[in-house]
């Protein structure tokens, strides 16, 4: 199964939240992955607005 490119950055977070108790216990990992996914989304939107 292929994941659309725009959703790939959210895949680790989706897996973490779908498992009871999560995949990792350190919230810093969740925050970091969320920040990376959000930053990528903002950068993509910014780039599409420029063109």
* The model's pTM: 0.72
Residue tagged 């977070």 (tokens): 13
CA–CA dist 12, 34 (Å, integer): 9
DSSP string, 1-51: -PPPGGGGGGHHHHHHHHSTT-S-S-HHHHHHHHHHHHHHHHHHHHHHHH-
Residue of 11, 14, 10 whose CA lies nearest to 37:
10
Query: What sign results for the dihedral spanned by CA atoms 33, 39, 42, 45?
Result: negative
Output the tens digit of pLDDT for each of the chain's 51 residues. 566 766 788 889 999 999 999 999 999 999 999 998 888 888 878 888 876
């Amino acid at each position: 199964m292929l994941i659309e490119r725009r959703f790939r950055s959210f895949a680790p977070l989706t897996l973490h939240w779908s498992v009871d108790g999560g995949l990792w216990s350190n919230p810093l990992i969740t925050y970091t992955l969320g920040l990376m996914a959000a930053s990528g989304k903002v950068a993509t939107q910014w780039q599409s607005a420029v063109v």
